[in-house]
Amino acid sequence: MLFYVVVMRKNTSRLPATVEYQLFAYYVVLNRGCDIDKPRNPAESITAERCTGGNKIMAIHEECGIFGVMSTKKENVAGIVYYGLYALQHRGQESCGIVVNDDGMFSSYKDLGLVSEVFSKDILSNLPEGTMAVGHVRYGTTGGTTRNNCQPIEVNHQKGKMALAHNGNLSNALELRDKLELSGAIFHSTSDTETIAYVITRERLTTPSIEEAVSNTMNLLEGAYSLVLMSSAKMIAARDPYGFRPLCYGKTPDGSYVAASESCALSAVGAEFIRDLFPGEILVFHQNGVESRKEHCGKKKKKTCIFEYIYFARADSVIDGVSVHGSRMRAGELLAESYPADADIVIGVPDSGLDAALGYANQSGIPYGIGLIKNKYIGRTFISSGQNERLDQVRIKLSPVKSVVAGKRVVLIDDSIVRGTTSKRIVKLLRDAGAKEIHMRISAPPFLHPCYYGTDIDSEENLIACHHCMEEIAGIIGADSLGYLEVEKLSKLIDSVDYCAACFHGKYPTKIPTDLCKDRFERKLSERG
C-alpha cells in the first residue's frame, strides 16, 4: 500500500492538514483490517482521569459473595454461613468475614485470606450460637486489601446495631462519600460498603424501621448493589433496581431462611431454592416469616451483568431462571457457528471455559477432551493484581495433558482475553506440549470499555482489544486463529435482552462517574497531586 506523507509548512492552515491526517489514519485502519465504524480506543469522554494529573485509568471495582441466614432457633449459625461462603469462594479470595447475632449482641471475625484459611475450627467454635448471621467473601480493588476493608461492616448507632455485606459497585459512591465527609462523617475504610452503611444509618435515625431506612437509601444509590444486612431483630436482603448483581433466597427443612449471591450456596447448606429477588426488591426476614417490599421494583429496566453468566458465577448456579451452565454451553455453540475450525479436538480452559468447550464440541462435531488440568488451590488469574503474579500463577495453575494435545489441531476455548498475557502463556503451554495448531475461541466479546458496576477489568490502555484487531491479537498470543462471541449474540445466552454489556459495547445504563479517586487515602502524598 502506498502512503503519502503530509508535511505542514509554518503558514499552512491547520484544518486542511487535519483532514489529510484523518484520511491517512483512515487508510491505515483499512489496511490493518479493522472496522472503521467500531473504534478500538474509546473516546476520552467516557474515560476517568486519575487525580494525579490526568493519567487515564478505569474505574476499579469489586466482585464479592454475600450470605445470610435467619434461623428459627438458636444454633451454630456461623457454621451455616461458613459453608455458604465456602460455596461462594469463587466470587472473592482476598478476605472474608462472619458476624453472628446472639439476641442483639454481635460477635464477628474477619481477616484476609480464603474461607478455609481464615476460619479454623477453633475460631468458628469461639463464635457464639445465635439466630442470625451474615457473611462475606471479598474480591475488591475499590479499597485496598486491608483488614479495614473486610466485610461485613458493623455499625453501632443510636437505634441499635447493624452488620452489612455488599456485592457490587456504586457509580456515585465518591459523590455520596464527599457529602458525608463534609457533614462530619469519619470513614474507617475505602470501600463502597461503608458509604452505604453510613447512608442507611443516617436514614434509620428518622425512620420507624430498618427496612424503611434501606428503602430510603435506595433512592440515593446509583449502580450495582446486592445487600444482606442484619439488625438486632431482622435480616434484610435487597437488590438494586437494575438487578446488576444476583441475589436469591431459600429455606431449609427446619424453616430457616437463607439469602445468598448464588443458588449454589443454598444447595451447600441444604436449603431449597425459592426464587431470585426481583430487581429493586427488599426482603425482610423476621421470626414470623418474610415480607417483600417492591416500591423500587419496575423503576429501571433490568440490566443483569452478562458476565455473571460468562465468567463470575459458578456453573451449577441458576440466575434469574437461567442456568449458568446452559448459557455457557450456548456460547460455545454460537462460537462454533460463527468461527468453525478444522481441528481434531476441543478443549477448555478450566473452569469457566469448560462448559463453552463442550458446547462448541457438540455443535461442531469435533471431539471434546480434557487438555488442561487446573491446580484447584490457585486463585483466578483474571482477578490477580500484578502482571508478574498473573504469569506466575499461570505457570503453576495449569498443566497441559500431552497425550491429549500432542500432534493435534486444537480448538482452545476460554471465557475472555483482557490483556492477552495469560492467553499467550496458555497457548505456549500447549505448543510446548506438542499441539500442532491452536485455534482460540472466546466465549465473550472483546473488552473495550470500563465497567462501573463491579467487573474489575484493566485500564483501557492495557486492554488488548482497544489497540489491536482480532487477527493481530491472534498473532500476539501465538494462536493460529481467533474468534470472539459477537456482541449481537449475547442475548441468545439467556434468551433475553435484559442485561448489561457496557464493558463490551459502551452503552451504560447509568450516569458515568467523572471522578473515580476512591483510593486517595491509600496513596502517598506525592501521588495524590
Asked if residue 319 lies in contact with residue 467, where contact means CB atoms within 8 angstroms, the answer is no
Q: What is the per-residue DSSP string for 362-385?
A: HHH-PPB---EEE-TTS--GGG--
341 shares its domain with 222:
no
CA 99 to chain CA centroid, Å, is: 24
Residue 53 included in any domain = no
Domain annotation covers residue 444:
yes
Domain count, the chain: 2
> Do 329 and 299 share a domain, yes or no?
no
User: What would the grid cell of residue 13 be?
Assistant: 492552515
Bridge partners (DSSP) of residue 283 are 237, 292
- 215 and 331 share a domain? no
- What residues have CB less than 8 Å from 193, skipping those under 6 apart? 151, 153, 164, 165, 166
Q: Mark whether 402 and 483 lie in a shared domain.
A: yes
User: What pairing do the DSSP bridges indicate for beta strands 372-374 and 398-400?
Assistant: antiparallel
Residue pair 411/387 in contact by the 8 Å Cβ criterion: no
Give yes or no: residues 361 and 491 share one domain: yes
The answer to whether residue 10 sits within a structural domain is no
Using alpha carbons, list the distances in angstroms from residue 375 to 154, 398, 399: 35, 6, 8
Q: Are residues 454 and 333 in the same domain?
A: yes
Q: Provide the residue type at 43 as one letter.
A: A
By residue range, what is the domain housing residue 110?
A: 62-303
- Please indicate, yes or no, whether residues 432 and 465 belong to a single structural domain of this protein: yes
Tell me which residue of 256, 233, 163, 168 sits closest to 201, measured CA to CA: 163
- Whether 64 is catalytic: yes
Q: Are the CB atoms for 239 and 176 separated by under 8 Å?
A: no
C-alpha angle 55-58-63 in degrees, rounded to nearest 5: 145
Distance in angstroms between the alpha carbons of the first and the last residue of the chain: 46
In a domain, 239, yes or no: yes
Say if residues 171 and 192 touch (Cβ distance below 8 Å).
Answer: no
Is residue 258 located within the same domain as residue 330?
no
Cβ neighbours of residue 486 under 8 Å, at least 6 residues apart?
334, 338, 445
Instruction: Please tell me the predicted confidence (pLDDT) of residue 190.
Output: 75
Instruction: Kindly state the helix (H) or strand (E) to which residue 486 belongs, with its residue range.
Output: none
The residue type found at 374 is K
Residue 448 lies in a domain: yes
Burial class (CB in 10 A: 0-12, 13-18, 19+), 231: buried
Cβ atoms of 467 and 459 closer than 8 Å: no
Residue partners of 284: CB distance under 8 A and separation at least 6? 211, 234, 235, 236, 290, 291, 292, 293
Beta bridge partners, 323, equal 318
Indicate which CATH number applies to the domain containing 272. 3.60.20.10
Residue 208 lies in a domain: yes
Which residues are 137's β-sheet partners?
A: 65, 96
Report yes or no on 49 lying in a domain.
no
Measured in residues, the chain has a length of 529
Q: Does residue 50 form part of some domain?
A: no
Ordered mean pLDDT values, 10 residues apiece, the chain (529 residues): 41 42 45 44 33 36 84 96 97 94 96 94 96 91 65 92 95 87 80 92 95 97 96 97 97 97 98 98 94 97 96 96 98 98 97 95 98 76 49 76 97 95 94 97 94 75 91 97 98 97 94 65 58
State the helix-helix crossing angle for 173-182 and 192-204, rounded to 10 degrees: 50
Residues 454 and 399 both lie in one domain: yes
Cross-strand bridge partners of residue 347: 412
- Pairing relationship of beta strands 257-260 and 304-305 according to DSSP bridges: unpaired
- At 459 the pLDDT is 66
Catalytic option among 51, 64, 297, 500: 64
Question: Is the dihedral angle over the CA atoms 148, 261, 61, 203 positive or is it negative?
Answer: negative
Query: CA-CA distance, 140 to 145, in Å (whole number)?
Result: 7
Are residues 331 and 281 located together in one domain of the fold? no
CATH of the domain at 437: 3.40.50.2020
The predicted structure's pLDDT at residue 476 = 97
Could you identify the residue written with the cell 491472534? 474
182: CB partners within 8 A, 6+ apart:
none
Contact at 8 Å (CB) between 346 and 368? yes
Residues 286 and 417 in one domain: no
Residue 106 has φ and ψ, to the nearest 5°, of -95, 135
Residues 364 and 481 in one domain: yes
**Which region holds residue 259: left if phi is over 0, alpha if psi is between -120 and 50, else beta?**
beta
Which residues, at least 6 apart from 523, have a Cβ–Cβ distance to it below 8 Å?
52
